[in-house]
Amino acid sequence: MLGRYDDIVASTFWIKEGYAAVVFEAYYATGGDPVKQGSNKKLDNSDVFGFFIQPTYDIIPQKLQLVGRYSYANSDGLYGVQGQSRYERKVTTKSSGGVGDSYQSLYAGAQYYIHGDKLKLMAGAEWAELNAPKGDSYDGITLLSGIRLSF
């Protein structure tokens, strides 16, 4: 996905104070060619701007954490923003192919750390909206749960 742009600029700011932390990230991508391969032929070469804000709060330090996130992306064309592959693209493939001109989502959840970031339980809910032409937009809520394992 990122290889389709000529230039990408991103910036991240992270701050932590006591039990609370917040991450701010913004990006701008420009140029490139439309997607010529893969399953999504409608994705164009529009310039895209986006950001996310992710606050966290440790209820029990290093054990139980609340997580929130707001994400936003906007393109200067009708098909420059792509929905998440697991959800939005699967239900908006009829006419738009799961792409549109803007996307936003709001997530709230919790993480229970069993062995730091290497093993944790995660659960939450996410509302997302993908604005697409021809009435093939997505507006829905997803409930998520899982076990994250990394080594």
DSSP track, 36-76: -SSS-TT-----EEEEEEEEEEEEETTTEEEEEEEEEEEES
Question: What pLDDT score was predicted for residue 62?
Answer: 92
* Per-residue pLDDT tens digits for 32-57: 666 554 455 567 778 899 999 999 99
108 in Cβ contact with 79 (< 8 Å): no
Residue 20 parent element (H or E): strand 20-30
* Tally of structural domains, the chain: 1
* Per-residue pLDDT tens digits for 3-23: 667 899 999 999 999 999 999
* Per-residue pLDDT tens digits for 109-132: 999 999 998 999 999 999 999 888
Expressed as residue numbers, the domain containing 46 is: 2-149
Question: What pLDDT score was predicted for residue 98?
Answer: 72
